[in-house]
Amino acid sequence: MGFVKEFKAFALKGNVVDLAVAVVIGAAFGAIVSSLVDDVITPLLLTPALKAANAENIEKLAWGTVKYGKFLAAVIKFIVVALVLFGVIKAINAAKDKEAEAPAAPPEPSSTDKLLMEIRDSLKK
């Protein structure tokens, strides 16, 4: 059981979890940027250039139209991935907080403190 416990401690360290989140969010954000460039910006820039070069009657190319749907799909995928990861991280943090919140038993008074309490009680009488 020592290996499992050690692996759990390693996997739940803040740095490891943060790195995993960064990789997943980075991949999802990369899809958004790729879609924005491939499906929106390139056609908007290329269409006027083709018209200026009088080459607009070339075969219908896949990138010749603005694909707002693909871009919107990439944005929705990013939002879904971010929400799921937010839920996972929130659950991990709640588990860590629950472990940290376990109240420690108050320390027993030292012999000096006990003696002082006895003196105080005697003086009250």
Query: Percent of the chain having pLDDT more than 70?
Result: 82
- Return the structure tokens found at 67: 């694909």
In the predicted model, what is the mean pLDDT of the chain?
A: 79
- Comparing 71-75, 101-105, 115-119, which segment has the lowest mean pLDDT? 101-105
Specify the pTM: 0.50
Structural domain count of the chain: 1
Alpha-carbon span 15 to 89, nearest angstrom: 12
Cβ atoms of residues 41 and 68 within 8 Å: no
Residue 67 has pLDDT above 70, yes or no: no
Is the pLDDT assigned to residue 91 strictly greater than 70? yes
* pLDDT confidence of residue 59: 52
What is the Cα–Cα distance from 87 to 79, expressed in whole angstroms?
A: 12
Whether the CB-CB separation of 83 and 24 falls below 8 Å is answered with no
- Structural domain harbouring 30: 2-124
How many residues does this entry show for the chain? 125
Of the ranges 5-9, 79-83, 85-89, 115-119, the best mean pLDDT one: 115-119
- DSSP assignment string, 87-101: HHHHHHHHHHHHHHH
Q: What angle (nearest 5°) sits at the alpha carbon of residue 52, between those of residues 49 and 54? A: 110
Which distant-in-sequence residues (6+ apart) come within 8 Å of 36 by Cβ? 71, 74
What's phi and psi for 92, nearest 5 deg? -65, -45
